[in-house]
Amino acid sequence: KSALFWEMCCDLKRRFLLLYATQKGQAKAIAEEIWQQAGAHGLEADMHCISEMDKYNLETEKDPVVIVISTTGTGDPPDTARKFVKKIQDTTLPPDHFAHLQYGLLGLGDSEYTFFCNGGKTVDQRLQELGAQHFYDTGLADDCVGLELVVDPWIDGLWLALRESFLLQKEKEGMSSDTNAVSSALSAAPHVMHELNLSSEVQNLKLEDEGVLSQKLIDIHLVASARDTEPSLVHSVPPLSQSALNIPALPPEYIEVQFQDAHGENPHLSSLISEGTIFEVPVTKAVQLTREDAIKTALLLELDIADTVFDYQPGDAFCVICPNNVNEVEELLQILELPEKGECFVCVKVKRGTKKKGAVHPQHIPERSTLKFILTWCLEIRAIPKKAFLRALVECTSDAGEKRRLQELCSRQGASDYTHFIRESNVCLLDLLHAFPSCKPSLNLLIEHLPKLQARSYSVSSSNFYQPGKLWFLFNIVEFPACPARPVSRKGVCTGWLAELVAPLLHPSKNTLDKKGGSPSTEKV
């Protein structure tokens, strides 16, 4: 009915332009969610990365434009938006340059940084200065407290705003007769309007065969734990445990993994970095700056950069390429039931016939490498799982109670539980797989949903004039203590690895010294 209603409302005006500017994939994932939901609302989202300026033209765009843009650094637009921002900041553009443009913008940021959502704010302000008009209020989502707190309701309200924009567009085109026809049709069928207002919830509802989990379908496992009055990662309490759920649409699979023989070489780490120069340098000194009984452990490391072309100023940032914890990689291989396949080479390709819009081979995944290389150097296995990932994990879970709880955690009704038990608890994939043992995801699912393992940024705390050829930096070893959602404590991915790497320098012993009684063997980063 809603599709028919849109046909009445918009005739051929059902398209809108959807642009995203992403740094680490968040904005793209949200744009893909909007693209998926658009189909359920009878709309066509023409989706492009904002850098693909040959595929769209805002100067001539007549349909509504939706922009999802993140922020990087201390407040810059993402790298993919640099050319776009440079173009619209041309001072010779007249103030009515975009007077024809109707747009809505969703900005992503982190309030822990001074210039919150500045990437989105920069684009929003400049479009306004050039005469563009909002058809929908700007949304600013905060990664510090949870993007979904703003993103979900913003997307929910988008469809009504688009509908009104299309109607206004028709009025401007002198099609008032069609508008009157639509109004009379609405008067004759008010339930259609009601259905449209609810469609963002209804169209994305995809649960069991009967469509809705009724209050009577409470799994026996949940009944058994009902005597617990407090919810946890693995179980809920009323009203959530007895609610019908609105959950996201199942993301389409798009990656295919083929195991090959164990011969060959893994790619060099430099191939994983798309920009910047990479150096491999020795660690020549490590000093613990805090006492053993201190709450935090602070280390100072000295790197020998004499043989590199590495010029810096005090306070400059540089990035360390780090691996995932070797024990966690082995643990993941065990859970995936692939312990013998770690050294096997895998070929990663885009699945033929996938329904995913614009599916491409992930740039951070080599086309051919060992499985252990991918899990160690390419995927952020410590990433906090997004709701789309939880939705996909539902399909890999056999236990009915565990399946229901995962549905709750990715549902609209379970938003506060997701924030508390997943996001704020820093739960990662391994924690989830231990908490929900019947969940057995495929390898391709991990590659599809786990983000790129990012190099970690640190600030230089030395001077090239005072210590030529040396680079110092300091850091606290990040600690994630055990909690109900995480049965074991963990150290930060990079700080924990660095601490382990320089342990011989911090605590030299006889077996770490060479035959001449010199310094411990040199490690490199």
**DSSP labels for 314-330?**
TT-EEEE--PPPHHHHH
- DSSP assignment letter at 56: -
Which of 22-36, 343-357, 444-458, 499-513 has the weakest average pLDDT?
A: 499-513
Degrees, nearest 5: CA angle 101-48-77: 75
Q: Rounded to an integer, what distance in angstroms lies between the CA atom of residue 156 and that of residue 244?
A: 18
pLDDT of residue 199: 35
pLDDT of residue 326: 97
Domains, the chain, ordered by start: 14-169 (3.40.50.360), 255-449 (1.20.990.10)
Across-strand partners of 479? 491
Which of 12-16, 236-240, 281-285, 344-348 has the weakest average pLDDT?
A: 12-16
Q: Among residues of the chain, what percentage have pLDDT more than 90? A: 63
- Residue 173 pLDDT greater than 80, yes or no: no
Rg of the chain over Cα atoms, rounded to whole angstroms, equals 26
* Exposure on the CB side of residue 202, measured as CA atoms within 13 A: 10
Average pLDDT score over residue span 101-107: 97
Going by C-alpha positions, the residue among 167, 210, 212 that lies closest to residue 185 is: 167
C-alpha distance from residue 364 to each of 31, 270, 452 (Å): 20, 11, 6
Q: Which amino acid is at 379?
A: L
pLDDT tens-place string over residues 369-391: 999 999 999 999 999 999 999 99
- Crossing angle between the packed helical segments 176-188 and 190-202, to the nearest 10 degrees: 90
pLDDT of residue 509: 61
C-alpha distance from residue 35 to each of 41, 42, 46, 67, 201 (Å): 10, 11, 8, 12, 15
- The owner of tokens 């642009």 is 19
Q: Is 259 in contact with 499 (CB distance < 8 Å)? A: no
Task: Determine the 3-state secondary structure of 334 from DSSP.
Answer: helix
Q: Is 208 in contact with 351 (CB distance < 8 Å)? A: no
